[in-house]
Amino acid sequence: MSEQNKTGKVGTGTRLVGAGRRREWTGPVVNPPVWRASTHLYENMAALAEGPRRNEDGRFFYGRRGAPTQWALADALTGLEPGAAGTVLYPSGVAAIAGTLLTVLRPGDVLLMTDNAYDPSRAMGKGLLADFGIETRLFDPFDHAAYRALFCDRTRAVLLETPGSLTMEVPDVPALAAIAREHGALSVLDNTWAGPTGFAALAHGIDITVMALTKHVGGHSDLMMGSASAGPELYEALRKRAQGLGIVVSPDDAALALRGLRTLELRLNRETSSALEIASWLAGRDEIARVLCPMLPGAPGHEIWRRDFAGGCGLFSFVFRGGDRARRDRFIDALELFGIGYSWGGFESLAVPVDPAPLRAVMRWPPAGLEPGDRHGVRLAIGLEDPADLIVDIAQALAAAMAGG
């Protein structure tokens, strides 16, 4: 258990500054040194014999079980998640999702997956999990009756995500997790969007919370990593499975992620206020049919976001009015301050096209209230630039998109 959990009353900024800083691991310096280690040398035969016997963080054995740099990051993340006993680090967010699902599922089991999950998670259902004899059934997280009806005696787990990928709807996670628990199923949440400081997943009934640290925690678009945090029993199971799969992360990347973590709140606050300003501006434009931003009043799931979340971030989408796909593409091409690229959570703003229809099996796209043509969207990841400059850029790109072609 992290030292931070004992002083869980202090504010987020204070927790982020101290998270994972254990003198016995990091010595007198502020940041844990990068321990590049495969071999740990033992004092003598007795110490060597002890090595494999005590399989726990904080005890050297061999590089695959980590060293202080990775332990400090895992400990920091555990300390930020109320109710967590430990955190396993993975070499990417997708590896964290796969490692978690391969921990809780067995051949013959059924996984219920939210239909608006991150696309590689949906692909995992049809690929990796199917190959291992695990069946995935997709559900609409807003249709609780249909979701409830999907449970059977083989349903072992549900995979949730909030907000939904690309379309950004915020479901009632506590209610969905409670229904899973009633049926004896575990709930896993992809909490990459809000992270532990924005949404306390375990405190809201989730059993395992997964994050792509690649996004906000790294924060500088220069590393790939994932994490899964859970209470004592599931943490041990996750750790055992990860060790069985030979999963380990680079100490250099762990040090970068720890550095990113220190400024997480500052960056998220800036991104959130800029995103809200830009989303509000877009909501007033005739070219735009809908803005899909959880922090924006009136957006799908906004009320639940207000009820459950302590913060937002810079990632949101919007949908153009009418079915002119080329116009949407011209808009993205005309942006000057936004890079065209995947990922998000870095300091720089990004834009990608969003065409969710082929990525939804049971949810409707476009959703109720939009015209059938209102289907081409854009996802913006708002970075740390001045929001006024980003709005000027978006305005000129809208003008170019409407004029050209």
Annotated catalytic sites, by residue?
Answer: 64, 118, 190, 215
Residue 250, interface with ligand PLP (CB under 6 A)? Answer: no
> Which one of 7-15, 176-184, 210-218, 299-307 is the stretch in contact with ligand PLP (CB under 6 A)?
210-218
Please, what is the minimum distance in Å from the beta carbon of residue 222 to ligand PLP?
12
Of residues 216 and 239, the one with the C-beta less far from ligand PLP: 216
Of residues 98 and 397, the one with the C-beta less far from ligand PLP: 98
Please, what is the minimum distance in Å from the beta carbon of residue 345 to ligand PLP?
8
Bridge-partner residues for 378, per DSSP? 318, 353
Phi–psi pair at 131, nearest 5 degrees: -60, -25
> Which one of 69-77, 78-86, 92-100, 322-330 is the stretch in contact with ligand PLP (CB under 6 A)?
92-100
Residue 401, interface with ligand PLP (CB under 6 A)? Answer: no
> Which one of 89-97, 197-205, 326-334, 376-384 is the stretch in contact with ligand PLP (CB under 6 A)?
89-97
Please, what is the minimum distance in Å from the beta carbon of residue 197 to ligand PLP?
16
Residue 214, interface with ligand PLP (CB under 6 A)? Answer: yes
Residue 316, interface with ligand PLP (CB under 6 A)? Answer: no
Please, what is the minimum distance in Å from the beta carbon of residue 90 to ligand PLP?
8
Residue 294, interface with ligand PLP (CB under 6 A)? Answer: no
Residue 317, interface with ligand PLP (CB under 6 A)? Answer: no
The 3-class secondary structure across the chain, one letter per residue, is: CCHHHHCCCCCHHHHHHHCCCCHHHHCCCCCCCCCCCCCCCCCCHHHHHHHHHCCCCCCCCCHHHCCHHHHHHHHHHHHHCCCCCEEEEECCHHHHHHHHHHHHCCCCCEEEEECCCCHHHHHHHHHHHHHCCCEEEEECCCCHHHHHHHCCCCEEEEEEECCCCCCCCCCCHHHHHHHHHHCCCEEEEECCCCHHHHCCCHHHCCCEEEEECCCCCCCCCCCCCEEEEECHHHHHHHHHHHHHHCCCCCHHHHHHHHHHHHCHHHHHHHHHHHHHHHHHHHHCCCCEEEEECCCCCCCCCHHHHHHHCCCCCCEEEEEECCCCHHHHHHHHHHCCCCEECCCCCCCCCEEEEECCHHHCCCCCCCCCCCCCCCCCEEEEECCCCCHHHHHHHHHHHHHHHHHCC
Please, what is the minimum distance in Å from the beta carbon of residue 249 to ligand PLP?
11
376: Cβ contacts below 8 Å, ≥ 6 apart: 319, 320, 323, 324, 325, 328, 353, 354, 355
Please, what is the minimum distance in Å from the beta carbon of residue 350 to ligand PLP?
12
Q: Are 60 and 67 in contact, with CB atoms under 8 Å apart? A: yes
Q: Are 192 and 212 in contact, with CB atoms under 8 Å apart? A: yes
Of residues 148 and 259, the one with the C-beta less far from ligand PLP: 259
Residue 92, interface with ligand PLP (CB under 6 A)? Answer: yes
Of residues 77 and 398, the one with the C-beta less far from ligand PLP: 77
CA atoms within 13 A on the CB side of 75: 27
Of residues 214 and 274, the one with the C-beta less far from ligand PLP: 214
Of residues 66 and 91, the one with the C-beta less far from ligand PLP: 91
149: Cβ contacts below 8 Å, ≥ 6 apart: none
Residue 226, interface with ligand PLP (CB under 6 A)? Answer: yes
Of residues 92 and 263, the one with the C-beta less far from ligand PLP: 92
Which one of residues 32, 68, 83, 93 is an interface residue with ligand PLP (CB under 6 A)?
93
Please, what is the minimum distance in Å from the beta carbon of residue 215 to ligand PLP?
6
User: How crowded is residue 144: how many other Cβ atoms within 10 Å of its Cβ?
Assistant: 15
Residue 212, interface with ligand PLP (CB under 6 A)? Answer: yes
Residue 253, interface with ligand PLP (CB under 6 A)? Answer: no
Whose tokens are 């009632």? That residue is: 172
177-196 binders of ligand PLP (CB under 6 A):
190, 192
Residue 221, interface with ligand PLP (CB under 6 A)? Answer: no
Residue 76, interface with ligand PLP (CB under 6 A)? Answer: no
Please, what is the minimum distance in Å from the beta carbon of residue 85 to ligand PLP?
23
116-175 binders of ligand PLP (CB under 6 A):
118, 165
Residue 314, interface with ligand PLP (CB under 6 A)? Answer: no
Would you tell me which residues interact with ligand PLP (CB under 6 A)?
A: 92-94, 118, 165, 190, 192, 212, 214-215, 224, 226
